[in-house]
Chain A
Amino acid sequence: DIVMTQSPDSLAVSLGERATINCKSSQSLLYTSNNKNYLAWYQQKPGQPPKLLISWASTRESGVPDRFSGSGSETDFTLTISSLQAEDVAVYYCQQYFNIITFGQGTRLEIK
């Protein structure tokens, strides 16, 4: 099974500052035949289901603000929020879909 490990477990950032969440996979998520990384990021607010933010490690979903960006390849990935807004307070999960599905343990993002 592919194990996904996020860091940190929680993060407090001031409004307008950058937030960075890391995700490490126990094996490469890069499918060489199409050169795509099978990694997604989700945002979950209290009482709501997860919302897809980013697929293929760096492709932002329609309607997702451009302050959210994803980067990385193979086993190391990053979600960056360039300028934190109050509505970004949530738990963020990475998820691999290279082999079935597994999630990271989540990172709780709060306002400092």
Chain B
Amino acid sequence: EVQLVESGGGLAQPGGSLRLSCAASGFTFSSYSMNWVRQAPGKGLEWVAYINTRGSTIYYADSVKGRFTISRDNAKSSLYLQMNSLRADDTAVYFCAKRYCDTRACYYLDHWGQGTLVTVSS
């Protein structure tokens, strides 16, 4: 059974930093690209970042570019999101999500973690 478990959320000051982790199990982590998606309280889903299987291709939403860094450790089956220069509008539940992939490419998000809440406030 695929499991994705996020951790590292909490309260941060504006301008501060947090590092989120996502522990993966139940599948060959190194074979799948991964994403972070966030959801502000009472709002919709916003894609945040993407990383391919080897970490050689990375994309970010414009709203976090230059402040957030996605990374992965395939040996530990773990995904990370380093969040710097945090702002109040970064307050959200952050989900890690696995993409369905075949031999050619990766597509939709087929498994999601339960999410971890990040609150940015003074």
Chain A residues at the B interface, C-beta cutoff of 8 Å: 38, 40, 42, 44, 48-52, 55, 61, 91, 93, 95, 97, 100-106
Task: Please provide the chain B residues from 16 to 33 with a CB less than 8 Å away from any CB of chain A in the complex.
Answer: none
Identify the 4 closest CB pairs spanning chains A and B, nearest first: A49-B112, A40-B108, A101-B47, A106-B44
The B interface is mostly helix, strand or loop, or mixed, namely strand
- Nearest-CB distance from A102 to chain B (Å)? 6
Neighbouring B residues of A42 by C-beta, 8 Å: 45, 109
- Between B46, B47, B59, B113, the greatest number of chain A beta carbons within 10 A of the residue's beta carbon is seen for B47
Q: Are A100 and B109 in contact (CB under 8 A)?
A: no
Given A50-B45, A105-B44, 19 extra CB contacts under 8 A: A38-B107, A49-B112, A49-B115, A51-B112, A52-B109, A91-B44, A93-B45, A95-B108, A97-B108, A97-B109, A100-B47, A100-B50, A100-B59, A101-B35, A101-B47, A101-B109, A102-B47, A103-B46, A106-B44
Count of chain B residues with a beta carbon within 8 Å of a chain A beta carbon: 19
A15 to B107, CA, bound (A): 34
Total A-B pairs in contact (CB under 8 Å)? 53
Neighbouring B residues of A101 by C-beta, 8 Å: 35, 37, 47, 50, 109
Q: Are A52 and B47 in contact (CB under 8 A)?
A: no
Q: Is B95 located at the chain interface by the 8 A CB criterion?
A: yes
Given contacts A49-B95, A100-B59, A101-B50, contact A93 B44 (CB under 8 A): yes
Q: Is B1 located at the chain interface by the 8 A CB criterion?
A: no
- Nearest-CB distance from B7 to chain A (Å)? 15
Which residue of chain B has its CB nearest to the CB of A51?
B112
A-contact bits for B81-122, CB 8 A (1 contact / 0 none)? 000000000000001000110000001111011110000000
